[in-house]
Amino acid sequence: MRKPSVGWRWLAGLSLVSGLFVAGSSALADDAKPSVSSQVSFAPQRLTLSNGLTVLLVPDPTATQVTLRITWDLGTKDDPEDMRGMAEVIERLLLDPSTRHVRREMRQSLIRTLGIEEWKTDVNAAFDHTAVNVSMPSSDVNVALWLESDRMGFLLDGTDDPVITEKASSTTPQGWDEESTFRLGRAALFGKHHPYGGEMDLSALTTKAVREQIRKYLVPRNTVLALVGSFDAKVAKAQIEEDFGSLADLPKPAATVAPKVTMTGEKRVRGEAGIPLSHVGMVWATPAFLDPEDAAFDGLAYILDDRLTKKHVEGTKAMAYVDVHQASMRLASVFEARATVGPGHTEQEVEGLLDEEIEKMRTEGPTADEVKRASRTYLLNRTLDFTRTANRAYVMSVSFLIVDDAAFAPKWFGAYEALTADKIKSAAAKYLGKSQRVVVTVTPNPRAPSFGRAIRGGGL
């Protein structure tokens, strides 16, 4: 999420950011509360190609680079039930592909031969979407568009069965999520039949199934292309039409649906990981991304994290580390409170301390000052995020993929400005009951895998 331009206009450039930046300043006073949502607009130049590809352009002459992001409505939620982890395999194929025009071993040498500066290229498969993100100097936009149209349209041309098998063999369960508590808790919470449930298991994976998934989902009608930064919009439109408009027009796949999450009582799960201290986590199913109560859980996560850190990381030392977060996703979100057990303390003790603070939120709620601080901090961080072209491309792609709404940004920011103690208390009381949760305990085992990469929610 990132910077002021045609697409994102902030109050006199970054004056809103500077006004919010100093904690305790007049900008944080009740009588001087800035309205972020009233200052943000979401108006990219938009076109739809004849093959259904959605294109979003935000030319920004003040930017120092350009970000090209191609986002597909394909993620872990779309994995076949008996092949959980297929999205990860496709991510690896996208990261280092051989295509119709550019062989894998030629890609970097081609860039060097053309005298192009080093690009930053990321490929990420999340629960809800898969994306290629390329940041480059403005002089390289034409080459990047051609290379990415080739990656999108002709991925399978240079992908033989041994390559698919090699990528699948490097996809491991511990790399699927950040923490074992989240991974184990999510799997138990949703169950194996839910798009977010189950554990990674590629034992039934076939190269044919991977090819079919790519043919089905990596099509223009299932894709958003966003270009943000310093570029000529007229020239870019013409090249996008030429490079991407010629890709085959195939049907958009049906949207993945999810059953309602029902819990008939608390579940408990134990696991092991290559960690020095035990971890205790609690997870609940919470409202999906952009639901009115989704923002309440972001605020609740900030407040709970702050309380637990002060009381039990810095205070009692019962916890060596705390992480509370809302993983916002399209079909349902996951709220997790996780703590590392401090030296000399027990898992049962830490579970009791987590219970105590969560129950206070359900029965008493946060203070008005806590809500104000959480709301302002969240808005400040998001505003600062938008000073980068890559974040603006990300937000536009994901929001248009999900809601196709140009008014998305002010609504999104407005939800955090409208947070109140009553809203957070009500959400906590409704969703965070003991009978609605999974409690996960992960104990040290030096022979077990360590944790993988960051949790990949599908929201923002």
pLDDT in tens, 303-360: 999 999 999 999 999 999 999 999 999 999 999 999 999 999 999 999 999 999 999 9
From start to end of 263-379, where are the E strands? 267-273, 279-286, 319-327, 333-341
Residue 136: give the domain boundaries.
42-244
Do 361 and 292 meet the contact criterion of CB atoms below 8 Å apart? no
Assigned domain for 291 exists: yes
Mean predicted lDDT score pLDDT of the chain:
84
**Which H/E stretch holds residue 206?**
none
Within a domain: residue 300? yes
Q: What is the pLDDT of residue 382?
A: 78
Do 412 and 372 belong to one domain?
Answer: yes
d(CA 347, CA 8): 46
Query: Which CATH number goes with the domain that contains 209?
Result: 3.30.830.10
Question: 296 and 236 share a domain?
Answer: no
Q: Rounded distance, CA 152 to CA 147, Å? A: 9
237 and 271 inside one domain: no
* Mean pLDDT value across residues 35-51: 78
Domain count across the chain: 2
In this structure, the answer to whether residues 215 and 322 fall within a common structural domain is no
Closest C-alpha among 224, 211, 223, 115 to residue 167: 211
Q: Are residues 306 and 430 both part of a single domain?
A: yes
Whole-number pLDDT of residue 42: 60
More confident residue, 297 or 273: 297
**Residue 122 counted as domain residue:** yes
Residue 451 lies in a domain: no
Q: Does 224 share its domain with 286?
A: no
142 in a domain, yes or no?
yes
Q: At which residue do the structure tokens 């958009």 appear?
A: 252
Q: What is the pTM of this model?
A: 0.85
pLDDT at 169: 87
Q: Are residues 340 and 206 in the same domain?
A: no
51: in domain: yes
Query: Using one digit for the tens of pLDDT, what is the confidence trace for 379-416?
Result: 888 777 777 888 888 888 888 888 877 667 777 788 88
Give yes or no for a contact between 254 and 430, defined as CB atoms under 8 angstroms apart.
no
Q: Percent of the chain, pLDDT > 70?
A: 82
